[in-house]
């Protein structure tokens, strides 16, 4: 197997963690309508079941750092695949399990733990094994997999639900929707045994020979020798210093910058747009509530196309230019949406605003944040720092999901001059912060080895 094929294979397998991320968070959206009727949920319980996985994601990201240091990136991903499989099986509540809301929530949290662990380890593993000249493109496979996961689960749940009556969906259709995740999760688990361990983790553990063998397969002998030399020099420099003090000013600043960028990915309002998207489509194009398929296909198509654009430009133009372009596009999209809401003129302009926002997010903050987070932290602290940044992102996700409906339904938002537009102008303020943070604090990592990026902070 040649170097290019080998790298593509292990990247694709690792990126399946992203596909399961998208699949697991998307499956509840397809199942919850029938699930809610089966258990006769009130709004509070419905919200708890739907959001329960987020708590698992948060705690999964927190434990992902120490786990990654102890057992490595590969085995951390294997554990996440097992958690995905257990969650998919248990969420369908087989006959041997008690059919209670508590049991369902427990299995949703288990799935969330898997997402949290995978969302930190998968992009980090890809970044640590990919050559610097195409590392950005390789890491964006992870974001592409998330987008594909959403699309695939949407098709799967639609196919399952569309071939059953409503009574059958309420009785057992939602179980099949959850169990459908067993196919990609078991595939992920099996294929992970084919990927090598991270060469940087092996070097961190003192196994330089094994690290060099893996680098030889990916980079070729000449580049591999240079890579292992840089890795060892980086680790020796760190080892000559005192143990990493995560509360020291120098270390804390790096973690704060990465965590801020990670949280701002959610504060762009991406989930809020998806939350309100159906109403926009209904008013702008005359879609009815029953036309969810057409709405989701349009959103998924735009998201997918511009994720591909990001993949093929992130190593050519760099990370920072994409963040600038995407941020400006997101602002334009929200201005179109916000102003049309203010003027009580929801229509085609509103729709264009939503699609411009989604395209701009898919081009920038969606994939590029994962690329930068997987690159920016020095070798010695990468696992812990990325764990903190990803956990904070999940907390921000929960905060936006919780507060957006509250702001939308507030009296101030639904009266002049806002007329329902207030949240989108709040999101614009956060996007302006992204532009400032990128300009002032984010290093351009295009074409640099992880050890060269480390020197930026020194």
Q: What is the pLDDT of residue 291?
A: 61
> Whole-angstrom Cα distance, residue 198 to residue 293?
40
Q: What is the pLDDT of residue 349?
A: 87
Q: Is the pLDDT of residue 293 over 60?
A: no
Q: What is the pLDDT of residue 445?
A: 87
> Whole-angstrom Cα distance, residue 64 to residue 247?
19
Q: What is the pLDDT of residue 373?
A: 93
Q: Is the dihedral of CA 231, 234, 240, 245 positive or negative?
A: negative
pLDDT tens profile 241-284: 556 677 778 789 999 999 999 999 999 998 777 656 655 666 55
Verify cis geometry, omega within 30 degrees of 0, for the bond prior to 287.
no
**Would you place residue 288 in the very low, low, confident or very high pLDDT band (cuts 50, 70, 90)?**
low
Per CATH, the number for 245-458 is 1.20.1250.20
Top pLDDT among 234 and 418 is at 418
Per CATH, the number for 1-195 is 1.20.1250.20
Q: Is the pLDDT of residue 152 over 80?
A: yes
**Would you place residue 180 in the very low, low, confident or very high pLDDT band (cuts 50, 70, 90)?**
very high
Q: How many CA atoms lie within 13 A of 359 on its CB side?
A: 16
> Whole-angstrom Cα distance, residue 17 to residue 39?
30
* Start-to-end C-alpha separation, the chain: 39
Q: What is the pLDDT of residue 249?
A: 80
Q: Is the dihedral of CA 21, 27, 30, 31 positive or negative?
A: negative
Q: CATH topology of 1-195 equal to that of 245-458?
A: yes
Q: Can you give the residue ranges of every domain in the chain?
A: 1-195, 245-458
Q: What is the pLDDT of residue 36?
A: 83
Element (H, E) at 447: none
pLDDT tens profile 298-324: 777 898 899 999 999 999 999 999 999
Top pLDDT among 290 and 381 is at 381
Tokens of 8: 């593509």
Q: What letters, b where the CB count within 10 A reaches 16 and e where it falls short, cover 101-133?
A: eeebbbbbbbbbbbbbbbbbbbbbbbbbbbbbe
**Would you place residue 287 in the very low, low, confident or very high pLDDT band (cuts 50, 70, 90)?**
low
């Amino acid at each position: 197997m040649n170097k290019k094929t080998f790298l593509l294979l292990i990247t694709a397998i690792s990126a399946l963690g992203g596909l399961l991320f998208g699949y697991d968070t998307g499956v509840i959206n397809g199942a919850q309508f029938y699930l809610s009727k089966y258990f006769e949920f009130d709004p509070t319980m419905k919200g708890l079941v739907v959001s329960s996985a987020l708590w698992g994601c948060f705690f999964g990201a927190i434990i992902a750092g120490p786990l990654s240091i102890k057992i490595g990136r590969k085995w951390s991903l294997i554990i996440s695949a097992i958690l995905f499989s257990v969650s998919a099986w248990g969420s369908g509540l087989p006959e041997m399990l008690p059919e209670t809301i508590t049991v369902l929530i427990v299995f949703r949290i288990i799935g969330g733990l898997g997402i949290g662990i995978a969302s930190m380890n998968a992009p980090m593993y890809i970044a640590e094994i990919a050559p610097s000249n195409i590392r950005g493109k390789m890491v964006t496979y992870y974001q592409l997999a998330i987008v594909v996961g959403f699309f695939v689960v949407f098709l799967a749940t639609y196919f399952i639900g569309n071939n059953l009556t409503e009574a059958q969906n309420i009785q057992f259709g939602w179980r099949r929707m959850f169990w459908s995740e067993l196919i990609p999760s078991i595939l992920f688990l099996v294929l992970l045994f084919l990927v090598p361990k991270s060469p940087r983790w092996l070097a961190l553990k003192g196994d330089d020979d094994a690290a060099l063998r893996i680098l030889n397969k990916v980079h070729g002998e000449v580049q591999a020798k240079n890579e292992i030399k840089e890795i060892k020099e980086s680790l020796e420099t760190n080892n000559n210093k005192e143990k990493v003090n995560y509360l020291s000013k120098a270390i804390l600043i790096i973690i704060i910058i990465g965590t801020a960028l990670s949280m701002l990915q959610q504060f762009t309002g991406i989930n809020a747009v998806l939350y309100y998207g159906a109403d926009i489509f209904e008013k702008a194009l005359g879609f009815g509530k029953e036309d969810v398929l057409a709405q989701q296909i349009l959103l998924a198509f735009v998201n997918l196309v511009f994720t591909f654009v990001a993949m093929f430009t992130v190593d050519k133009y760099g990370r920072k230019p994409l963040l600038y372009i995407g941020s400006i596009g997101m602002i334009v999209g929200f201005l179109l949406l916000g102003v049309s809401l203010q003027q009580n003129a929801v229509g085609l302009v509103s729709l264009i605003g939503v699609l411009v926002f989604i395209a701009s997010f898919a081009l920038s903050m969606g994939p590029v944040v994962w690329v930068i987070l997987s690159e920016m932290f020095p070798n010695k602290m990468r696992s812990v720092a990325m764990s903190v940044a990803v956990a904070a992102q999940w907390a921000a996700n929960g905060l936006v999901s919780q507060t957006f409906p509250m702001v939308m339904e507030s009296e101030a938002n639904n009266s002049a001059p806002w007329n329902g537009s207030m949240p989108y102008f709040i999101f614009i303020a956060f996007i302006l912060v992204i532009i400032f943070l990128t300009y002032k604090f984010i290093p351009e990592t295009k074409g640099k080895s992880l050890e060269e990026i480390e020197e930026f902070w020194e």
